[in-house]
Structure 1
Amino acid sequence: MTSPLGGIVPVGVGALGAATGASGPVPVATAAEGGDGFAAVLAATFDRLQGAQRTADGLAVQAATGDLRDVHDYMIASAEASLATEMVVTVKNKAVEAFNEIMRMPV
């Protein structure tokens, strides 16, 4: 017997960054909505990662030039970008691990 997974909401890369202006979880595209499913979620996650890194880089430049008013904004953005990168690398490693395991299966 299987149970429906309708109550599970995926957490996007930018979900940690409410203080830096990032939006909430990545919306899941379903087949009924015409989305590409996993590919659409993966692409949105990479876009959010790029945005988090871009924000942290911009705040780092402001901190270096003395234009940054609150150093906390930079520290939050930097931590968010670091965690997001770590999460994406971990997901990539697990995907490669799963692919390798599938390739080792006897046919």
Structure 2
Amino acid sequence: MDVALNNVSNIKASSIQTAPTTPYEAQKSFASVLKESIEKVNESQVASDNLTTKLANGEDVELHDVMVASQKASITLSATLEVRNKVVEAYQEVMRMNI
């Protein structure tokens, strides 16, 4: 969840520090923040998988490290899915609006 919360704070900080002047720049900025956030979620998933594989192979890793990495990966993925669901809901609500 720390990763997801850090990503949200990064989005807020980046939008406050550098306000894009054109819609194209805003789109590029949003796309880059989204890409970085998804990459961080993927990194936590890969780290968890690596530790789990090492534990299964009998390598010297602590069980609690594996469990912590697994829970971090699970929480970041869950938070990402919830954000995605909220974005889809907002999009659907905008599309239902009468102009």
- Place the TM-score, normalised by the shorter chain, in its bin: 0.7 to 0.9
- Look up the SS of the partner of 2:52 in the other structure: helix
Q: What is the CA–CA distance in structure 1 between the aligned matches of 2:46 and 2:90, rounded to whole Å?
A: 31
- How many residues align? The count is 87
Q: With CA pairs under 8 Å and 6+ residues apart, which has the higher RCO, 1 or 2?
A: 2
- Do 2:3 and 2:41's aligned partners in 1 also have CA atoms closer than 8 Å? no
Sequence identity percentage: 31
2:30 to 10, 24, 38: 38
Uncovered stretches (5+) of structure 2, i.e. residues with no partner = none
Uncovered stretches (5+) of structure 1, i.e. residues with no partner = 1-10, 16-24
> Following superposition, which runs of at least 4 residues in structure 1 exceed 4 angstroms of deviation?
none
The residue aligned with 2:66 is 74
Please show how residues 1-107 of structure 1 align to structure 2 within 5 Å. Answer: 12-13=3-4, 26=10, 28=14, 30=18, 31=20, 36-107=28-99
- TM-score, length-scaled by structure 2: 0.74
Q: Which structure carries more helix by proportion?
A: 2
The residue aligned with 1:3 is none
- TM-score, length-scaled by structure 1: 0.69
RMSD: 2.5
